[in-house]
Amino acid sequence: MWWDERVSARFRRNLQPTLTYWSVFFSFGLCIAFLGPTLLDLRCQTQSSLSQITWVFFSQQFCLLLGSCLGGVFKRTLAQSLFALFASSLAISLVFAIIPLCHNVVVLAVVMAVAGLAMGCIDTISNMQLVKIYQKDSAIFLQALHFFVGFGALLSPLIADPFLSDTNCILSNSTANASSNLPHIRKSLVPHHPGNLSHYDLPMKGMVVTRVSYAFWIMALINLPVPIAVFLLLYKERMVPCWGGRSHPLLSADELAMEARPGDKDELSTPAQRPRAAAGHDDLLSCCQSRNFRGASYTYFAVHVTGALVLFMTDGIVGEYSGFVYSYAVEEPLAVVHKVAGYLPSLFWGFITLGRLISIPVSYRMKPATMVFINVVGVLITFLLLLIFSSSVVFLFVGTASLGLFLSSTFPSMLAYTEDILQYQGCATTVLVTGAGIGEMVLQLLVGSIIHDRGSYSFLVCGMIFGCLAFTFYAFLVFFHRMYPKPSPELDDASPDKAAVPDDTGQYQR
């Protein structure tokens, strides 16, 4: 095996929980990518306008962000975390099954809001749990985790594609005029930004003819093994209520004892580590409580903020590029044929998934900080070349693939790097997941407005600016890393690896 025996042994001891968290993230990916391709069919199902149906995007994304902020609430015990994952993954299957029954756009928006909350909880808890299990070895397993979200995001559009309407799915007198533009409209839709599509005359009344319900029911069945896997893990850990199990702490007995004696903990901790040593990973609201900041140095805050800002930019680039690259390609000066330009978002997501797969073995040999540096520099160079060769269709495809590769491993590498700086005692997971979610939502809306006002060329200019900002924030993070207080040898021996090793009974404690 390409990793050493110590990591391999830890993986074998935690095989079931690790595979469970990976499968839950597959569920996350399955849910995050289906809405774009099916949105026009859902518009027909709800008999709503184009601008109304795009609010369903916003509903999902906003609640995903809210769920990410609140996901840390379930961090205290393993039972809380697993029950939250079980409820979230089951909710996603139910959402897939219920969507075909939603014939009102408001009801559909509420259902997607529930899906967003579930996805946010999955995002925070799964990342948090893998970091707590593997700690300094977590980079490899985080890369694999994010490969599964990419795999799910690739699979759901493929499932939906055979059931999408080739012509307008509401039959009326104007159907023939709108049908020829349907593929273009489908590929141009981005979250809550119909942009210049409002001039297309899409009928809202008439006979609804769509088979997209079958796609959602298939995805509901595919996702059903995921909550079953979480339930089996609950059963294995004897946490199912009817079996009279008890909630196992996520922290080891020694760590819990030290939490009960804050005075002793303070004697072992450096000033920057005191405020978070007891609390560990929290939800965003708990992280912001003033009692958690007592005695913290400015570098403690700076690491959290700069790490979140890097992901704000890089995840924002993922959102805005995947959302607008098709629209950019079909406009002047490139004027790519609609069918050819439609391959660009798929190429982008395909290389993101491929990059995450490649990053699994690479992350074992390379430090997370080095991987993040390569990623942000690669993004900068790619956007620079896209600007230089802005009239080349071939390089647009090459640049799209390159950008997908460089952005693929940024989030897991950044999370592993920031947690390593903070010695797994800060709020990094919650703060970084929240920052990434805000960036993906805000930058997409910002770029959409700029393109609408300034033209398609501003799409690449915005990407270049965001890439420069990501590199700048990364440079600040490296600077604050060098200034961050190093742990004492006693704390280093007691904490990072030993806290994550399972006990002899096979139950993993963090």
403 falls within a domain:
yes
291 falls within a domain:
no
The answer to whether the beta carbons of residues 134 and 500 sit under 8 Å apart is yes
217 plus 317 within the same structural domain: no
Dmax over Cα atoms in the chain, in whole Å? 78
346 plus 451 within the same structural domain: yes
Res 78: pLDDT: 81
Any idea what the CATH number is for the domain that residue 355 is in? 1.20.1250.20
Residue 205, judged by CB atoms within 10 A of its CB (0-12, 13-18, 19+), counts as exposed
Res 507: pLDDT: 43
The β-bridge partners of 207 are 171
395 plus 323 within the same structural domain: yes
218 plus 329 within the same structural domain: no
- Alpha carbon distance, N-terminus to C-terminus of the chain: 26
pTM: 0.77
- Number of folded domains that form the chain: 2
307 falls within a domain:
yes
429 falls within a domain:
yes
Mean pLDDT of residues grouped by 10 in the chain (510 residues)? 76 92 92 80 81 82 86 77 92 94 92 93 90 87 90 86 72 52 55 49 59 90 94 86 54 42 40 41 56 68 92 93 85 82 86 92 90 96 94 93 95 90 77 89 86 84 95 95 73 42 41
263 falls within a domain:
no
469 plus 355 within the same structural domain: yes
214 falls within a domain:
yes
144 plus 26 within the same structural domain: yes
**Which of 240, 263, 288 is the endpoint of a domain?**
240
Res 384: pLDDT: 95
Chain position carrying tokens 């393109």? 451
> What stretches of 372-451 adopt beta strand conformation (E)?
none
Question: Containing domain of residue 375, as a range?
Answer: 296-486
Res 279: pLDDT: 43
* The two three-digit tokens of residue 257, written as one number: 């004892």
391 falls within a domain:
yes
Residue 180's φ and ψ, nearest 5 degrees, are -65, -25
Res 294: pLDDT: 58
What sign does the dihedral 254-259-264-266 (CA atoms) show? positive
* Gyration radius of the chain's alpha carbons: 23
Chain position carrying tokens 């104007």? 174
179 falls within a domain:
no
Res 269: pLDDT: 41
